[in-house]
Each structure stands twice: as C-alpha cells, then as structure tokens.
Amino acid sequence: MPSLQKFHAQVARHNKSMMKNLCANLIRNEAIITTKSKAMKAQAKIEKFLHEALENERAFNAKEKPLDIKDRLAINKAFRYLQPPDKEEVGSKIINELSKRYPNRKTGFTRIIKLERRLGDDKAPMALIELVDSPIEFKFWYQAKVVARLELQNLPLDDLTSHNVKKLTKERENGEEEFRNAVETCKREFFKYDTESKEFLDPEIEEQIKNIPTNLEYYGGDLVGKVLVSKKHPTKPRFKKEIELPPSPFLADSK
C-alpha cells in the first residue's frame, strides 16, 4: 500500500514541484481552491512567473519579424520554470490568450479570496486563488449578484460596491457591457426573477429580499461619498493662511 505521507511540504524539493504544479493548474483552470497558506506561497511564484513570461512576450512582439509559437516556447526563458509536460499547453495559453488579456499589466495577475474553514478533521483555512479579468471570475459574479440584489430592492448603490464595480470593469474588455449582462443573468439565475412579468418565481427568495440593510444613509442618503469620514468626529479641511514674506534686505533686487 502506498504511504499517505509521500509528499512533504517541509522538503524543499517537494515544495518547489508543488508550487510549479499549482502555477500550471491555475493558468489551465483559471481558479483553484486550496488552503490559505499554499495559496499565499504560490501567489508570489505565479506573479513572478507571469511577469517574466509576458515581458519576454512583449519583447518578441516588438521585433520586425514576429516569431512562431514553437520558437517562442523554446526561446522564452521564463517557461523553464514549468514542468516539462506542462510547458507546451500552458505556454501556448499564455502566448495566445493571456498576452491579449493583460496588454499593459505588470503586477496583480492573481487574486486571493478567503473562504471558510474546511469541513472535516483538518479544519484548515481555505482560500480561492484566481486569475484577474478571466471569463470565470468569482469576484466579478459576486459583485454582479450584489448589484442585482440592490436593484431588486429598489436601492441605489453605496460607495463601496460602486468602487468595487469600477475596479472590476476598468481593465476588462467591454467591461461595463459584460457587467450589465451579468447583473441580468444573476437576477434570473440566483433570484429566480422573471424580467418580463416582474415577479419572483420563488416565494422564499421574495421574503429574503425584504431583508434590507439598516444603514440606509449610505444607500442614497446623507452619507453618500463619505465612507471614510467619521460620523462621531467630523473633520474639516485645514485652513491655509497665505502670508506675504517681507523682502530680504540682502538681495540686490529688493533695494
């Protein structure tokens, strides 16, 4: 029977190959659920790898004669980080898809979202690590769901959600259009809302939507645009005095 502890996180050799596998699988699947510590360790490696690979890719594009994919895979030194069997599949995805998705991006290719602990004896804190601006982005769809819920409650967006939406749609291609479509699909999929007849198909969800946030000052009230301002101790901008200095007697022009 094979031993259960074949793969040690403490051994450097094992740890390196673990990071390589996580890197390849993240690019392959766009999002991975792992433990929090593994995700945070792997994130640094993945960011470094993607930065180098895409920088080299831009340098090849700048040349007069653009190279073929086979040559690029061979020449690009960043791909040496990957395991040999993953090299062709993952490398070609970076060349074809990711270079178009991130034309100007240098950092911040990935995002970590903290999840609840694993159910079981382990109780390990889990996390989701995903590629930014991918077609399957968890945060994008979560924010779309938030906006859909607020629209069904007839409430305007608060500052935090509008800030998050702006961040998500800024770098994405046709971001605002895609987000608008996502909100409409969220209404249909998650809230069972018929847009034509304007009725909820599920009575349970109709009751859940009545659970409105209590701090309505932030939702189109007095405190819009004042997320960071304290309600107890409101601060005013500092008054600046304009003082005219007397001319110095040592300069020749002053006389």
Partner 1 sequence: MSLAINFGGLGAFPTLKQVLGNIPRLPVIGLVITNKPSITRSQELIIMDERLEELREHIENNGGEAPFMIDNGAILRAAPKKKLSHQKHRAKLYAPGNKQIQPLQNLIRCPACGHVKRSHVMCMHCFHEIRTFLKAKKRDLGIIKDTVNPQTDIEPIDEKLLYPKKELEGEKRKLQDRKYVPQREQPLMFQKGEQIHRRKGVWANMFRQN
Q: Which helix (H) or strand (E) holds 193?
A: strand 193-194
Map residues 119-148 to x or -, x wherever contact with partner 1 holds by CB under 8 A.
xx-------x------xx-x--xx--xx--
Residue 37 found at the interface with partner 1 (CB under 8 A): no
Contact status, residue 200 vs residue 193, Cβ threshold 8 Å: yes
Is the CB of residue 45 less than 8 Å from the CB of residue 17?
no
Applying CB under 8 A, does 244 fall inside the site for partner 1? no
CA distances from 244 to 11, 150, 162, 250, 252 (A): 69, 54, 44, 17, 19
Integer angstrom CA distances of residue 123 from 8, 33, 119, 127, 252: 19, 15, 6, 13, 79
Q: Which residues pair with 128 in a beta bridge?
A: 33, 113
Q: At its nearest, how many Å lie between partner 1 and the CB of residue 116?
A: 5
Verify binding: residue 151, partner 1, rule CB under 8 A: no
State the residue for tokens 């929090």: 36
Kindly indicate which of the ranges 19-27, 48-56, 114-122, 194-202 contains the residues binding partner 1, using the contact rule CB under 8 A. 114-122
Which one of 11-19, 170-178, 203-211, 221-229 is the stretch in contact with partner 1 (CB under 8 A)? 203-211
Quick one: tokens of 186?
Answer: 């969220």
Position 108 contacts partner 1 (CB under 8 A): no
User: Contact letters (x/-) for partner 1, 52-91, by CB under 8 A?
Assistant: ----------------------------------------
**Nearest distance, CB of residue 21 and partner 1, angstroms:** 17
What is the contact surface with partner 1 in residues (CB under 8 A)? 28-30, 113-116, 119-120, 128, 135-136, 138, 141-142, 145-146, 149-150, 161, 189-190, 208-209, 211, 213-214
